[in-house]
Structure 1
Amino acid sequence: TLDGTGDGTMDYTVRYYNSNDELQSETTIDDVPITKDTIIKTKPVSTEDMVLEVDSDGDGTVDKTYTVPKGETVDAENIVKFNPDNGDQVIKRAVDSEGKLNYTPEEPTKDGYTFVGWYEDTDDTTTVYKSGATYTKDVTYKAKWAHVKMLGAQVKAVVYDKSGIRFGTKIYNDGDEIVEKGTIILPKSLLPEGETLTLDTPKIARSIGKVNYEVNEDQNYVTYLGTLIGIPRAQFDKQITAAAYVIYMDKAGNEYTVYSQYPNGSKSVNDLLK
């Protein structure tokens, strides 16, 4: 009896040896779906097919039986894989009895990059993964990354009792074509709880990055600034948040937008003056 301890898949192999410790046969079933509630019972008899009786939810009822001829290797179900392309392990999920996968993987992280999404072909953003899709074969999705990251904030000089905030963004020109880059800025109090800034957020200030603050040709990156100006002294304590946005065009000619949120949440003019 095997008890599941987490979500994922399991490869199950039984090897049969003779009295001289020589391998006689090997029977394998790959990618058996597992949850923390799964209970599997098996009786590996050397003269018979290998059988796994799977109770998926631990209620005492066998939900699925897998039978594997002796000495063969079979796949339990069609498998959907998610390759994070950041050094972490590939995530594997088996489809259900109807061939569907209702699953949303956690967003991976990669230092200096912004996660775009999971794609069967990272050069074509129309191949994006969608939870609830049906599969008739094994499919691998790969994480797509944009080499863009929002940096810190600076305060502008106080002139005539007014100031401003500049948010920096670093972007490498080593991926898809950059159509437009810029910064969206908003008082933190106007951003609904739990939401992130996008170009569709109401009342944003939009600063298109037409002039680069820094150009590094050796490392192929630029830094640009998004600026909010004319903040009166009476509002120097108002918390301001921001996000960088980059509109890209992939190799297949599709445009998509990537957002990198200001990593420190928000800042006020007074925070930066201190």
Structure 2
Amino acid sequence: TYKSAALSINEIAKVQPINNNIDIVARTPQELYEIVSLIGEMLPKLPSNEPLFQVDQLCRAGRAYERGPNGNVLWHWQDDEGQLRPYSSQDSRTIEHAWQQHEEEIQLVISGRNYLLDLQQLQQVNEETSQARFIKRITAPNTAEPTTPPGSLSTDELSTTPSSPPPPPTAAMNNSVDARTEILNDNVELFNSFVQSLFPILYEVYNTSAGPAIKHRCLQTILRMIYYSSTDLLEAILKQQSISSNIASMLASCDYRIVISALQISE
């Protein structure tokens, strides 16, 4: 299906005309987010032990594993009078699961209306009216559970028992080999064709999208493409995109995650 996969980088550059005018089919923000996420998941993850990407862990550290052992998490939204109203138990669990998985956006259908929840900005956006509301994560005390420790635990055992939740399982994941890396190494020309075809599209989606979650996901996927691309492939890609001027505008952004991505792309 990929006829150009059998061609070299220079041959691909000659065959494919340079066309910077890309028309993106109109889609909802959620559809764009899912498409960009799918493209990103087809690429190997960025190495977390690489110093250049260790800052990404700090960007996510503030939200992970905040659930207290003696409390239940319930999400709320703010009404027109400034009062916090709780989501239903099912919706709250859905939001909390996305929060713990470091998702940036999720979509909920409440009373027949579509809502997009931005978990970075903590906002609920009505996709029909574009009305935004503040959302908040609240840990409610669990009064049903006993506050005293079980009698089977001695004082020494209690002192050695960790009171905080376990750390994220990133260390164990980093030790395992990403199968996508092996596939990439075995199919270099197919990867080159993949990047040649989709890099301009991701670049256009980033420039035409207003939602921060889509922009962040585009940048993460672009970073994966750049990191695993060869020098010849990068040269062929960058000839078609004026990415230097775009990096300059990214560095002036008020969103620190966009600034970090700009520095990583520059490096």
TM-score calculated relative to the size of structure 2: 0.21
Q: Which has the higher strand share?
A: 1
TM-score calculated relative to the size of structure 1: 0.21
Which structure carries more relative contact order (alpha carbon 8 Å, separation 6+)? 2
Q: Which has the higher helix share?
A: 2
